[in-house]
Copies of this chain bind each other. A is one copy, B any other.
C-alpha cells in the first residue's frame, strides 16, 4: 500500500531542510505542493536545489481571494489527484512550508486522505523557532506559559490571552497589524514586542515596531513578546 507523506520543509532557508525530508522528497515518484494561482510555489522552491527531475508534480493552486477562508473545492480536487496516484501504488509527498501540523494547509489534505491511506508526517523547523533565531532572543524559558495567537482573532480575545501569558508569538500579521499594535499599546507591551518578517529567507527583515507602516506588513510576519528582561536569569 502506498504512503502519503506530509513533509515539513522548514521556514524558507533551503539549508533548514532535515535529512529525513530530503531523503523522502528525492525518493517519491510524486510531489504535491501549494502554489499561488500563477507563479512559483514557495514550498517547492525550498527543495528545488535538491530535485533531480523525473518526478510527477501536482501544484495545488490556491486562489488568492479565498486564501483567508481556504478553498475547500481546491482541496477536494487535489485529494482526488493524490488518491489516484496512491491507488496506482505511488507514494506521494506533500511539501509543507514550516511544519505540516502547525497551522499548515496540509491538514485539509490530511482530513480527506488519512482515513484511507497510510499517512506519515515528517516534522519540520517551524517559523516560530526561525523567528526567535532571527531575533536572537529566547522564545520561552523555564516555566513560561507561551501563547501562539493568530492575528485574525478578535481584538478582545487577543488582549485577554496576551494579558494572561508570560510570552507570546503573534502570527499571520498582515492586515491585522494595526489591531495588534493597539492591543500591545493598551497592555504596555509595545516596547517588548519584536518584529520579524520572512524569517530565514533572503528577504528576512527585523524591524522596530515604531518603524513599521500599517500597510506594509506581510502575512508571513510575526511578533514575539516576552514580559521579562533577560529571560535566562535565575534569581
Residues of A within 8 A of B (CB): 8, 10-11, 13-20, 22-23, 69-70, 72, 99-104, 107-108, 110-111, 114, 119, 121-126, 128-130, 132-133, 136-150, 152-153, 157, 160-161, 164-165, 200, 230-234
Q: Which residue of B has the minimal Cβ distance to A131? A: B123
Residue from A11, A126, A160 having most chain B Cβ neighbours under 10 A = A126
Question: What are 11 A-B residue pairs whose CB atoms fall within 8 Å in the complex?
Answer: A15-B23, A99-B132, A103-B144, A107-B141, A119-B136, A123-B126, A123-B130, A123-B132, A126-B129, A142-B150, A143-B152
Residue A103 contacts which of B10, B104, B141, B152 (CB distance < 8 angstroms)? B141
**How long is the Cα–Cα vector from A11 to B20 in the complex, in angstroms?**
13
Q: Is the CB of A19 within 8 A of B8?
A: no
- Chain B residues near A138 (CB-CB < 8 A): 101-102, 104, 107, 110
